Amino acid sequence: MTDTTAQLVSDYLDHGKLPNLPNGHFIDGKFVAGSTGEMLQSFDPGNGKVIGTFATGNAKDIDDAVASSQKGFEIWRRMKPSQRCDILNKASELLLKNEAIVSVMETIDSGKTLVEAQGDVRNSARLLQYYAGAADKLDGRSINMGEDLTAWTSREPVGVTAHIIPWNYPTSTFVRGVAPALAAGCSVVAKPAETTPYTALLIAEILSEAGVPDGVVNVVTGLGSTAGAPLVVDPRVKHVTFTGSVGTGVNVMQAVAPNVTRLTLELGGKSPLVALSDSDVEAVAEGALWAIFSNAGQICSAGSRLVLHDSIHDDVMSRLLEKTKGLKWGHGLRNPDMGAINSDLHLGRVKAHVDAARDRGRSILTGGNVTTDQETGQGWFFEPTIIDRLATDDAAVQEEIFGPVLAVQVVKSDEDAIQAANATEFGLVAGVYSRDISRALRLARELDAGQITINDYWAGGIELPFGGNGKSGFGREKGWEGLDAYTKTKSIAVRL
Ligand code: NAD
């Protein structure tokens, strides 16, 4: 931990002193008060206390932000790609320089552990660097159409883009959309989630300091219904990148239809970690532990189902249970194994899912209850929970719980494993464990998921395209494919 980080942590934990909170929306390169002056409160999930307020954006604020973004787009798209590359590289450096404040702020606002928040900031800096490198490489193709024509394509920026951000990864979800959009020459209006408004504002300021012209990146805070809804239907917005729940994603899809606005949907998941009979049982137990309990299970791609071959079930489960019972949870700034649940409201949802499984007589091997910080007795926490031997039609297998709750399914063959793994409406990621690479690859071919990792769960970095099938959504973020949403291909042919 750097001295600055240690100081910020001690200021908050020992003296209740918060870092300076960004104030207002970020529009046209500066912080501005919301048009109504109405404010919402944001809470620290680690202790349940209010940390501050933020502006409640409405249609007028969105109108201002989109107008500013349109103006910014005309400047940004005409800039030399190499200049955009330099600015994004500079932003990456500045974000790393500001890691202490951004990660501490994120921990306090979201409830995650500091280590997780720091990882998120570093990932975001890498995303900026990766897409900085793409800014001057978005070339078209020259196309052979015979002797009397010459033809080529160019990739042009789509225009103003809207980014709707969820609360579980407020920093990196913001950057993973904004970085490729900026690299492609697009401008941005982003709406962070109502429980985690601050880090997008901090990063918008960092982008501005790095040289992104005024108006190119705007952030309007507030509710989905009053700020998100007018943003996605604004006809000046040419692409919407929505990350959030399936229900809201469906609403957004319907809302943008009349304008025929381009759309990326990054929705939920119920991703399986599949362990075949010849797996390394210790690797499976360790992989399954962090697949579900990282970020207290509040990850769209969490390994929330363990599809386990009968012959290794007992061995894996005894190891996994021992590891799970050893986990510590508490305020994220003290860096326990597991942080908080992001809101009181969401904690209630996690509890309801587990209560329903309990009511159906399902076997809860460990956890299963709402709890508090093990040191202070405060905050919004849920015990790390494992529910064993669930059937495919169990709600705990079919529904995204988005908390530290692992659903275990037992199978008797590789064919059963494929069927069980594919038997949900989602298709985001999957893990496959086997010592036989041919067996594992055969499974990988059959599994319906956007990203598959063999003999690990979290191998996917920023270079690998990420996104879902089925109700997990469509479109890909990260990697080279992450640029597709933000460019449109133009063909030009010339008769000679
Ligand atoms: P949510 O759908 O409740 O909210 C997401 C965002 O949408 C918030 O900013 C919210 O204010 C906004 N919103 C709400 N109504 C809107 C409307 N009518 N128009 C425009 N915007 C609106 O989701 P959440 O609870 O914040 O996030 C958790 C969900 O996000 C989980 O389902 C999780 O799986 C998913 N998620 C997916 C990914 C991914 O990459 N696939 C990543 C992170 C989270």
**Model-wide pTM > 0.85:** yes
Q: Taking Cα atoms as reference points, which of 30, 428, 65, 441 lies closest to residue 267?
A: 428
Provide, rounded to the nearest whole percent, the portion of the chain with pLDDT above 70: 100
Question: Do 92 and 131 meet the contact criterion of CB atoms below 8 Å apart?
Answer: no
CA 354 to chain centre: 24
d(CA 165, ligand 1 centre) in Å: 6
Q: CB of 300 closer than 6 A to ligand 1? A: yes
Give the mean pLDDT of 257-269: 98
Sheet-wide strand order for 187-191: 30-32, 25-27, 217-219, 187-191, 160-164, 237-243, 262-266, 473-474
pLDDT of 460 reads 81
> What is the third-level CATH fold of 5-267+473-492?
Aldehyde Dehydrogenase; Chain A, domain 1 (3.40.605)
Boundaries of every domain in the chain: 5-267+473-492, 272-461
Q: CATH classification of 272-461, choosing from 3.50.50.60, 3.40.309.10, 3.40.50.970, 1.20.1600.10?
A: 3.40.309.10
- Alpha-carbon distance of 471 to 244, in angstroms, equals 12
Block residue for tokens 């933020």: 54
- For residue 495, the surrounding DSSP H or E stretch is strand 487-495
- Alpha-carbon distance of 462 to 460, in angstroms, equals 7
pLDDT at 459 over 90: no
Nearest CA to ligand 1 atom 42: 300
Q: Taking Cα atoms as reference points, which of 8, 178, 22, 31 lies closest to residue 107?
A: 8
**266 an active-site residue?**
yes
pLDDT at 171 over 90: yes
pLDDT of 19 reads 87
d(CA 401, ligand 1 centre) in Å: 14
Per-residue pLDDT reduced to its tens digit, 122-131: 999 999 999 9
Q: Are strands 381-382 and 370-371 parallel, antiparallel or unpaired?
A: antiparallel
Burial class (CB in 10 A: 0-12, 13-18, 19+), 258: exposed
pLDDT at 1 over 90: no
Nearest CA to ligand 1 atom 41: 266
Torsions phi, psi of 65, nearest 5? -65, -40
Per-residue pLDDT reduced to its tens digit, 272-329: 999 999 999 999 999 999 999 999 999 999 999 999 999 999 999 999 999 999 999 9
Listed in sequence order, the residues at least 6 apart from 318 whose beta carbon sits closer than 8 Å to its beta carbon are: none
pLDDT of 160 reads 98
pLDDT at 495 over 90: yes
Per-residue pLDDT reduced to its tens digit, 203-241: 999 999 999 999 999 999 999 999 999 999 999 999 999
d(CA 177, ligand 1 centre) in Å: 14
Count the Cβ atoms, other than its own, within 10 Å of residue 231: 29
pLDDT of 417 reads 98
Nearest CA to ligand 1 atom 15: 224
- Alpha-carbon distance of 364 to 346, in angstroms, equals 20
Give the mean pLDDT of 436-460: 96
Listed in sequence order, the residues at least 6 apart from 109 whose beta carbon sits closer than 8 Å to its beta carbon are: 42, 44, 51, 170, 195, 196, 197, 198, 199
Give the mean pLDDT of 457-474: 95
Q: CB of 168 closer than 6 A to ligand 1? A: yes
- Alpha-carbon distance of 460 to 465, in angstroms, equals 8
Give the mean pLDDT of 484-491: 98
Per-residue pLDDT reduced to its tens digit, 58-70: 999 999 999 999 9
Nearest CA to ligand 1 atom 21: 228
d(CA 33, ligand 1 centre) in Å: 25
d(CA 473, ligand 1 centre) in Å: 12
Which candidate in 116, 194, 205, 266 is catalytic?
266
**85 an active-site residue?**
no
Residue 251 CA: nearest ligand 1 atom is: 18
Q: Taking Cα atoms as reference points, which of 10, 45, 78, 34 lies closest to residue 378?
A: 45
- Alpha-carbon distance of 473 to 453, in angstroms, equals 19
- SS3 (DSSP) at 491: strand
E runs forming strands in 178-334: 187-191, 217-219, 237-243, 262-266, 272-275, 305-309
Per-residue pLDDT reduced to its tens digit, 343-361: 999 999 999 999 999 999 9
pLDDT band at 482 (very low <50, low <70, confident <90, very high): very high
Torsions phi, psi of 236, nearest 5? -80, -15
pLDDT at 28 over 90: yes
Most ligand 1 atoms within 8 A of CB, residue of 109, 242, 245, 471 to mutate? 245
- The residues pairing with 177 across neighbouring beta strands, listed in sequence order, are none
SS3 content of the chain, % helix, strand, coil (to 5): 45, 20, 35
pLDDT at 494 over 90: yes
Nearest CA to ligand 1 atom 20: 228
Q: CB of 243 closer than 6 A to ligand 1? A: yes
Per-residue pLDDT reduced to its tens digit, 380-426: 999 999 999 999 999 999 999 999 999 999 999 999 999 999 999 99
Block residue for tokens 């990420």: 466
175-188 burial, b at 16+ Cβ within 10 Å, e below that, comes to bbbbbbbbbbbbbb
